[in-house]
Amino acid sequence: MVQENRRKIAKLLSFLVSLTGVLVMLGWIFDIGVLKSIHPSWISMKFDTALCFFLSGIMLFYIFKAQEGEFDMAQIVISTCALMIILLMGILFFASFLKVQTGIEHLFLGEPSGGVKTVIPGRPSMPTMLNFLLLALAGMLSILHVRRLRLSLLIIGILVAAVGLVAVTGYLIDFPVLYYYIAGVNSAMALHTALLFVLLGVGLICL
């Protein structure tokens, strides 16, 4: 019964994360500020970040479905979502690491320059990219029948949630370094980005 309740929690969290990703993407499409950044003085969640949350929510749901025995469809959906996340966030991560411009930041919707606590318009913070790559790894592990899968999901879930919690703490005490802002080096992590990472981490821990 306890395990069943945990899976229900993970299922609910997957819907919340995907729905929030859709809302933020709509915020960019229709220029609705409160959906993009919650507060005008805070950094916005980037469009590609919102897209990856949408995909991550779907992936979390199908990890849950795979554990229920619906493996064939889960394998297709998880592979597709994980590959898209790896391609998008992997390119952005290495572009940030190598300090080059790829143009992928403006692949969907361009962000004007001068954004709050944003180093490169359209590009999320480094911890955001790393967390999405960890989430994609969790998805791939779930369809590869690896040994100690539950332990792997637990560890990844804790790491993802911890990154989000540190950023949330930074907002609560108004300490920008904790939400990963380093002027000229790394953009801040948006508050709703941090909160969604906490939800995704909890979802993986539940599974």
Residue 15 CB contacts under 8 Å (≥ 6 apart), including other chains: 57, 61
SS3 91: helix
Distance CA 103, CA 168 (A): 29
Q: Angle, nearest 10°, between helix axes 126-143 and 191-206?
A: 20
Distance CA 138, CA 111 (A): 30
Q: What backbone torsions phi and psi does residue 182 show, to the nearest 5 degrees?
A: -130, 110
On the question of pLDDT at 111 being above 80, the answer is no
Under the banding of pLDDT at 50, 70 and 90, the label for residue 114 is low
Q: Helical H runs in 30-148?
A: 33-37, 47-67, 71-98, 126-143
pLDDT mean across residues, the chain: 88
**Model confidence pLDDT, tens digit, residues 115-139:** 778 778 878 899 999 999 999 999 9
Domain boundaries, the chain: 2-206
Residue 172 CB contacts under 8 Å (≥ 6 apart), including other chains: none
Strand ranges for the chain from DSSP E: none
**Model confidence pLDDT, tens digit, residues 13-52:** 999 999 999 999 999 999 898 898 888 888 889 999 999 9
Q: List residues bridging with 186 in a β-sheet.
A: 182
For residue 178, what is the DSSP state?
Answer: G
